[in-house]
Structure 1
Amino acid sequence: MVQTRPIVIPSPPFLLGQKGDCPLFPSLFLLVVKPMPPRLRQRQAGSPFWRLPPLGLLLLIILLSAGSSASAGLGKRQPAPCGPPALNGLVTCGGYGVGSDRSPRLGHNLDRSFTPASILKIVTALAALEILGPDFRFATRFTVNTQGDLFIQGFGDPLLDSEEVLVIVKSLQALGLSQVHDLILDDSAFRLSAMGAGNDGTLNPYDAANGALAVNFNTINVQVMADGRVISAEPQTPTLPLMAEAGRHLAPGMQRINISQAKDRVPRYTGQLFQALLAKNGIQVQGAIRTGTTPAGLAPLLVHRAREPLVEMVRAMLRYSSNYIANQLFLTVGASRYDYPADWPKARRAVQNFYKTRLPKVAPFLHLEEGSGLSRKNTVTPAAMLAVLEAFRPFADLLPEKNTQRIKTGTMEGVYSLAGYLTSENGLESFVIILNQRKNSREAVLERLKRGL
């Protein structure tokens, strides 16, 4: 029996808008920050705990616009400009729908394409759950050669955090590993020549790069002391040499930073964490930490399976809007269909082909550049989103609960969306609201739709 432990993930991405995508405000550029502490745990019925230590206050700045026009059902996809307003001006550039995509009871601009922001994670989640399976668990392989080098081969486990690394170290210790020559990190399962679309490469945690072998979501949580010393801000993570380097120019206080902007820091961080926890448990790394490829033909000493099945990763991804988890799943779906190494084109092709088979009427109206919703090149029609929600109905409980409703939000500069299920006398009814406009009126639109049920 596998023992479940708490899922620990950093704050979900602060959503960063891009300029030049809005026909009304082409030069507008604002930063949108969604508040969320860096690590989370909360008890759910039948689920593990989710811890949520405090991080501090974050700011939400907003607004932009893009287009639509009125129609109903899954017809020909129509681009901007915006059509007529709806709901007494609450919707100036957007669309909404309630009910089945085949016969929506309420709708506006159902066949126009809009930038969806994070509600796109539902599209990614359905593909991952049906392609990989709810019980899928990520693997990380550990292999030792005749020289005593330990190879760590990653396959994209998004929950490979400090606590999980400690579990791995204890497993290696139990298997008789007592010393290591070189520690060799193998991230060859992902071939990512560039960051995902919509990732601006900043030091903010929401821009952490994806990869086959990364720990703690490619972020470091440090405490910068008044005297300039930099120490780990969490008990499960030892203070590592990279922390002093990454935090030396930061203001005093607790800081979570993305270390993936400098590519060499990712393997250094992973290697230093494994080295420190191996040493703490009596396994000394006598040689260097370096990158390399696991030799073919060597049987692994240990194949470690992620502590949580995919369904729980999806729950965390949707509840806390983790862009990092979303794109780890997106890339893994691509590799599962078209083999490793995973890359962005394989992921896009796999998800698109999945929908061509699973929901053939929807596929022409879904365009995914990446799996999280960060890219403004992602587009979806409200009618297509209703179809995805109908297919996602068996997994409705994975969506965040809000006042007995199951709702996923999406927020970027000038993009305000809601999608999920409203409670009616007939049970749960699918709904979607996508606004590509300056005013964030999505809650008011939702209230109007609820009154129309």
Structure 2
Amino acid sequence: MSAAARPAGPSRRDILAGLAAIALGAGAAPGRAATGAESTETILARSGLARETGFVVVDLATGAPLEAHRADRGFPPASVVKILTALYTLDTLGSGYRFRTRVIGAGGDLVLMGDGAPGLDTDALGDLAREVARRASGARRLFTASGALPAIEMIDRDQPPLAAYNPAISGLNLNYNRAFLSWSRGRMSVSAPGERFEAPVAVPRVVPTDRARPGHGDGPEGEVWRIPRAKLAGRGGLWLPVREPAAYAGGVFSTLLGGAGLGPPAPAGAAPAGTSGPALAEHLSDPAVDLVRSMLFHSTNLTAETLGLRASQARGAAAPDLARSAGAMENWARGTLGLEKAVILNHSGLTEATRIAPADLAGVLIRAQGPLSDLLRERKLAGAPGEAGFDPGRARLLCKTGTLDFVSALAGYLTTAGRRLAFVIFAADPAARARIPADQRDNPPGAKPWAKRARGQEQALLRRWVEVYGG
């Protein structure tokens, strides 16, 4: 991000002061009732989420708030927090920053040295293996070096055990730290598939169990997932989160080196401190701006966390864990973007504990509208079910979504023929989340109907704002 993200703009106090001058939650704006737009009261009553919702919509040209509901309350933003991570990354690292993954030779051995690259995949390792095979005649052992980022077992401990969106983090992150488990007719295999290369995976290993819930642990040969036999019936596949990323990446790279005609060298674990040698091959990640854009489009949690951790490192912040790194981002956002009140626990939003008020985030959207307008994903605005009169093409929607069980979030920009608007819509029911039984976290009762109501409420509010303020 450049200085374009730093211009002065309305603060949280300015927005709240503006809200005091309008009738919060009122129906159609004065003089615009002829549009036939639903009132906010009607929308909130239909969803049944009035007490669980906070929103604000602001005129981008003037910074003036137009409508709001509980805009000063803190809500979990889920993946919407990735907006802050994107701005933090670009302001700190620059749009052209790249991660480097290297292979060095060390006295007849090889070392796969990670730099924290979030998009490293099997194809990139395959290309590294081919380059190493061209330059080296052989290798006895393969070590890994993954200390470029702190070792973190998982992003959030409250997620379902098999959630592939909740992987470990380290300086070596292969395939977003996921391995693919497939099964058919009682046979299982674990692999690291790419588009041009594929390798069988020995670590993690998968063992069927008669228990009702999956389990994870360490065996004599490393990481082991115990998967209920009932889940492995018939034919299917799933991505498993990897908890020991360096061992996973090292095993895959050793196999790929063998396929390239070199060895394969025996995986030997972490490289001794101070190991050095000539570089035999190097892989550069995509530029930071492309990593950020992909993170916002696909909402990849590992990318958000690795970018945030690296940005905190670059600012000299002591960040051995996600909470302290996110705290450094929170302090930056206060000084740079005017984010006055927030509690941020990680860079991806994969936690219920982070809290941001809609009014706070609306100020960020106003101040950073330049860079964000080029980064956010464009989505279609939905028409009301069974309603033919509303034309979704009347507005352009650029936004970031966020979803957890009993949490729904949407924030971004709504451009119409008459106005450009910034909006934030948060809805959350922490009490319902707290009631989820431990054995039902992968499919909590009531979560899907609640999410449907929250998404319907978001779309209804967007339609209202297009009708009332769209010109």
Partners of 2:269 and 2:192 in 1: CA distance? 26
Partners of 1:268 and 1:109 in 2: CA distance? 48
Does the C-alpha gap of structure 1 residues 290 and 244 become closer, same or farther in structure 2, counting only changes over 3 Å? closer
Does the C-alpha gap of structure 1 residues 73 and 340 become closer, same or farther in structure 2, counting only changes over 3 Å? closer
Q: Which of residues 411, 415, 422 is equivalent to 2:407?
A: 415
Q: Residues 270-311 of structure 1: CA distance to partner in whole angstroms, max 9, x if unpaired?
A: 1221011111111113444312345256453444211x2112
| Aligned-pair CA distance for 1:113 | 1.2
Pairs within 5 Å for 1:228-239: 228-230=187-189, 232=191, 234=193, 236-239=197-200
Partners of 1:177 and 1:345 in 2: CA distance? 42
Instruction: Verify: 1:127 aligned to 2:88, yes or no.
Output: yes
Q: Work out whether residues 221 and 254 of structure 1, in 8 Å CA contact, stay in contact via their aligned partners in 2.
A: no
Q: Work out whether residues 334 and 343 of structure 1, in 8 Å CA contact, stay in contact via their aligned partners in 2.
A: no
Cross-structure match for 2:215? none
Name the amino acid aligned to 2:421: E
Instruction: Verify: 1:87 aligned to 2:41, yes or no.
Output: yes
Instruction: Verify: 1:304 aligned to 2:258, yes or no.
Output: no
Pairs within 5 Å for 1:323-362: 323-338=301-316, 343-359=321-337, 361-362=338-339
Name the amino acid aligned to 1:145: A
Partners of 1:246 and 1:300 in 2: CA distance? 38
Q: Work out whether residues 141 and 266 of structure 2, in 8 Å CA contact, stay in contact via their aligned partners in 1.
A: yes
Partners of 2:120 and 2:331 in 1: CA distance? 29
Partners of 1:227 and 1:114 in 2: CA distance? 45
Q: Work out whether residues 153 and 167 of structure 2, in 8 Å CA contact, stay in contact via their aligned partners in 1.
A: no
User: Is 149-158 or 98-107 further displaced after alignment?
Assistant: 98-107
Q: Which of residues 156, 161, 173 is equivalent to 2:116?
A: 156
Partners of 1:436 and 1:286 in 2: CA distance? 51
Q: Residues 189-226 of structure 1: CA distance to partner in whole angstroms, max 9, x if unpaired?
A: 22245533465361221221222112111111232121
Cross-structure match for 1:385? 361
Q: Which of residues 259, 267, 270 is equivalent to 2:246?
A: 267
Partners of 1:233 and 1:172 in 2: CA distance? 20
What SS does structure 2 have at the residue aligned with 1:450? helix
Does the C-alpha gap of structure 1 residues 252 and 181 become closer, same or farther in structure 2, counting only changes over 3 Å? farther
Cross-structure match for 1:442? 458
User: Is 220-229 or 128-137 further displaced after alignment?
Assistant: 220-229
Does the C-alpha gap of structure 1 residues 108 and 286 become closer, same or farther in structure 2, counting only changes over 3 Å? closer
What SS does structure 2 have at the residue aligned with 1:191? coil
Partners of 2:57 and 2:109 in 1: CA distance? 58
Partners of 2:114 and 2:190 in 1: CA distance? 27
Does the C-alpha gap of structure 1 residues 339 and 285 become closer, same or farther in structure 2, counting only changes over 3 Å? farther
| Aligned-pair CA distance for 1:180 | 1.6
What SS does structure 2 have at the residue aligned with 1:338? coil
Cross-structure match for 1:61? none
Q: Work out whether residues 201 and 251 of structure 2, in 8 Å CA contact, stay in contact via their aligned partners in 1.
A: yes
Q: Calculate percent identity across the aligned residue pairs.
A: 27
- When the two structures are superposed, what TM-score results if normalisation uses the length of structure 1? 0.73
Cross-structure match for 1:431? 423
Partners of 1:245 and 1:155 in 2: CA distance? 28
Q: Which of residues 196, 205, 209 is equivalent to 2:164?
A: 205
Partners of 2:265 and 2:192 in 1: CA distance? 27
Q: Work out whether residues 208 and 324 of structure 1, in 8 Å CA contact, stay in contact via their aligned partners in 2.
A: yes
Q: Work out whether residues 223 and 255 of structure 1, in 8 Å CA contact, stay in contact via their aligned partners in 2.
A: yes
- Pairs aligned (count): 369
Partners of 1:444 and 1:432 in 2: CA distance? 14
Does the C-alpha gap of structure 1 residues 381 and 394 become closer, same or farther in structure 2, counting only changes over 3 Å? same
Partners of 2:160 and 2:278 in 1: CA distance? 37
Name the amino acid aligned to 2:403: T
Instruction: Verify: 1:178 aligned to 2:137, yes or no.
Output: yes
User: Is 217-226 or 436-445 further displaced after alignment?
Assistant: 436-445
| Aligned-pair CA distance for 1:378 | 0.7
Which structure 2 residue ranges, 5 or more long, are not aligned?
1-12, 18-24, 27-38, 209-226, 381-395, 430-449
Does the C-alpha gap of structure 1 residues 152 and 340 become closer, same or farther in structure 2, counting only changes over 3 Å? farther
- When the two structures are superposed, what TM-score results if normalisation uses the length of structure 2? 0.71
What SS does structure 1 have at the residue aligned with 2:315? helix
Q: Work out whether residues 57 and 68 of structure 2, in 8 Å CA contact, stay in contact via their aligned partners in 1.
A: yes
Cross-structure match for 2:271? 292
Instruction: Verify: 1:316 aligned to 2:316, yes or no.
Output: no
Cross-structure match for 1:80? none
User: Is 397-406 or 125-134 further displaced after alignment?
Assistant: 397-406
| Aligned-pair CA distance for 1:350 | 2.6
Cross-structure match for 2:57? 98
Instruction: Verify: 1:376 aligned to 2:352, yes or no.
Output: yes
**Normalized per residue, which structure has more helix?**
2
